[in-house]
Structure 1
Amino acid sequence: MPGADWDLCGLRQAQWSEMSGKIRYLSRRVLAASLFLMLAATSVLASSGSEFALLNSRDSVLQHGLEERIRELGLNKATQDGRLAACLVDVTDPAHPRLAMVNGERMMYAASLPKIAILLAAFEKADQGGLSLGQAERLSLARMIRRSSNTDASAMLAKVGRDYLIEVLESERYRLYDPAGHGGLWVGKEYGKAPAYRRDPLAGLSHGATAFQVARFYYLLHTGQLVSPERCAEMKTLLANSALDHKFVAGLRKTCPTARVYRKSGSWSVYHSDSALVEHDGRTYIAVALTADPDGSRWLEQLITAMDELVMSNPLPEHPSESMPQIAEAPQDRTEREIMVLP
């Protein structure tokens, strides 16, 4: 019957239209879910504070040069035995850093070097309104960094809070200590005779670091990514003018006395370490080295000279980057009295 056929056709057409609508609805839901997952994955990578970007910036020429310099200094066995870790990052073009490292992700005891973590946590807490950085606090931070005062480090740690400091280091924003990876910067003990209150989960260290994560700290500082560009400038000022003339500072004084050096070192027993952001003659680089040897301080003085020569031997970038990270500028010659009145 023609009428029945027409009714059946209309019914099928209606069913198909309804099914098509459901398919379009489900497709939109699947697409939305896919976009959400992609954005979430992107967010995780971005929140790592350039960790993946920096790891993917390994440079074969710089790596070969670093290994060759270490060999020439007779320190190959020290790296093989785990008594030396080093990381070098050429950030002359900060948008395209060049990374080289040996034992860069090995946790080592770092003595006073991790005081930079207390510095970061203090400015992070101040930025959130939880800590006032008045004249007394700024002068205390200057002594903690420039003179490596244990008294000031312990006092500032108490103001910042033990748990808060670790939260900052392990936060998604910074990930300067990764318990699921290779560790990083760690402070789990006051700088004094009191026992450790919380050792790092991976190596059981009270004051520990990996050369790579220390280098990341300086990279984030240099590119204005620690707290804010303004806070980075303040932190760089505190890291300038070290009162301790040894290790990296002593080595650089001999080869490039006009270099700007933002630096924090550490020493205890046979453990000697140093870290610096160095600027001179159109180049900027980050150097970090951790040692576990009585001669470690001498190694560091020699190693920084070799690292500097290596960076200077590479040609300058031909073209500046089109999208440059915001660089945190800082006065080099602020006295401790002037630091007290920084904004």
Structure 2
Amino acid sequence: MKLKSILTFILLSICAISTAQDQLPIRIDDSKITSLREVVDTSLQLKLEVALRSNPEWKKLIDQKKMAVGIVDLSDPGKVRFARVNGNHMMYAASLPKIAILLTAMDAIDKGELKETSEVKKDMRLMISKSNNAASTRMIDRVGYEKLEAVMTD
């Protein structure tokens, strides 16, 4: 019960933050917002790749698909520019998606679709308290991408 209360608080906080466009320093009409894929800038893309690949460790991680970077240039709100490296490659979950994974797992447990075993509880605890990516991946494997998407879009 305590975990559900904490999760509810976190999700409500995220919703409050994500719906606060009027508080952003850059105000733009929703009809003018476009997908980042539509504003990929080749010049910015080249600069990003050169900068990242100049670091041997980063180059290695990028080549191994273990590092992804995205940058959005909002210096001119009327001409947003975007560049990314490995932006279309699935990476291990970061901290924010772990909340969605936890919510999906709890929903699956409540509906009898996932058994609450000691391994499941341990992975959920590691995923949230230690931000453990391996535990997150195991939980995604247990609940599946389809279930995760269904819970998040309901």
TM over 0.5: no
TM-score for the superposition, normalised by structure 2: 0.45
Q: TM-score, normalised by structure 1?
A: 0.22
Structure having the larger proportion of residues in strand: 1
Q: Which has the higher contact order (CA 8 A, sep 6+)?
A: 1
Largest Rg, 1 or 2: 1
